[in-house]
Amino acid sequence: DDARRILAQSPGIKLLDDTAISLYPQPWSAAGTDEVFVGRVRRDVSHSNGLVMWVVADNLRKGAALNTVQIAEEMIKREWLHPGGKQ
């Protein structure tokens, strides 16, 4: 629930995550937009601190390298990721 709340409040992210009504991101929904669509957010059963999600974006508008940098910067800001791997 915390992850969903944080994602929903994050700029550039559109959370579509309601499996009860089959609401989750589809590639066609991201076409022509700068937003990153996220859904199917759940715990990763293979990692105790892991999170799994389905992410869709228009790679022509939201470059993969830029997106990776933005995500890493946000994770460092929120102290989810520690530079140098130290925790």
Q: Is 71 exposed, middle or buried (0-12, 13-18, 19+ CB in 10 A)?
A: middle
Homologous superfamily of 2-85? Dihydrodipicolinate Reductase; domain 2 (3.30.360.10)
Whole-angstrom CA distances from 44 to 18, 49, 50, 59, 67 are 18, 8, 5, 25, 22
Report the alpha-carbon distance of residue 74 to residue 79 in Å, rounded. 8
pTM for this prediction: 0.67
- Tens of pLDDT, residue by residue over 17-42, are 998 898 999 999 888 888 999 999 99
The tens place of each residue's pLDDT in the chain, 87 residues long, gives: 889 999 999 999 999 999 889 899 999 988 888 899 999 999 999 988 889 999 999 887 777 667 777 888 888 899 887 776 655
